[in-house]
Amino acid sequence: MTNITLLDGSIGQEIVKRSGSRATPLWSTSVMMEQPEAVRAVHLDYFNAGATIATTNTYAVHVDRLARVGLEAQHKTLLDIAMAEAVAARTAHGSGRIAASLGPLGASYRPDIAPPLAEAQKAYASIVEALDPLADLFLIETVSSLHDARGALMGCADTEKPVWLAVTVDDDDGTKLRSGESVSDLAQIVSEFAPAALLVNCSRPEAIAAALDLIAPMGLPFGAYANGFTRISEGFLKDAPTVDALEQRKDLGPKDYAAFVMHWIAQGATIVGGCCEVGPEHITELANQLKAAGHTII
């Protein structure tokens, strides 16, 4: 059968949920500052569930977000903490790879506030430089537009590690990025920057299949990891939102989610996992189904 890379599930959202703290615009960064051991515990739980990759808790560790609360001087320290906790979890587990997460600048799902390319390149390059020594690969996440993709990939120009690009698509039309641009137009980005893999993330699982149909012909390893929100609400698209503005689905248990993923694999996906609200129990179920179907998890 097929070799499948099994990603972890929700990192930031899982950390916040376990902390018992109220959500803040800094999201899981706030928890990591006070409870760094919680980050390690989440990574280890995913490894034990069957994931072979730990995605660092650096999605929201950006200078622009930290500057809102006067913590921009802590940027490098927080990146180091996030990487150290992922590495510690891998050491405890005994195997696995580390994917350094590069989340959107400004805010998720907001291509309208994306910075100019030169500014984005500089911001991402500083994170890549800090995380490169211990990262096995870089995972650019929740890309909402071609502009966002270009800026992030420009920021990864100096790394020799693999760079995976993950885009987020419209909740109701998986053929479109959240900017309204066609997923097909990613072909020009692929041609120009040659990322090592192309993924769809943080989108409703119902929207993923249509996106994968357009990504598959681009010739890269591809896959997906969906979220478990009902949809991205208007409230979350306001300035400095918190995840309190988003609603968790009640109809996406481990078996339900695994059914979507197995369909993506039938479409040719070889990199799968989960995003927000998809937890260790989902990854456990997915690992079991992959093995039962004769796939090899790598």
Per residue in 48-84, pLDDT (tens digit) is: 999 999 999 999 999 999 999 999 999 999 999 999 9
Looking at residue 289, its pLDDT comes to 98
pTM (2 d.p.): 0.94
CB of 139 closer than 8 Å to CB of 166: yes
pLDDT digits (tens, 9 = 90+) for 142-156: 999 999 999 999 999
CB of 40 closer than 8 Å to CB of 258: no
Looking at residue 216, its pLDDT comes to 98
pLDDT at 236 over 50: no
pLDDT digits (tens, 9 = 90+) for 187-230: 999 999 999 999 999 999 999 999 999 999 999 999 999 999 87
Question: What's the chain's average pLDDT?
Answer: 94
pLDDT at 46 over 60: yes
Position 128: which residue type? V
Q: How confident is the model at residue 233 (pLDDT cuts 50, 70, 90)?
A: very low
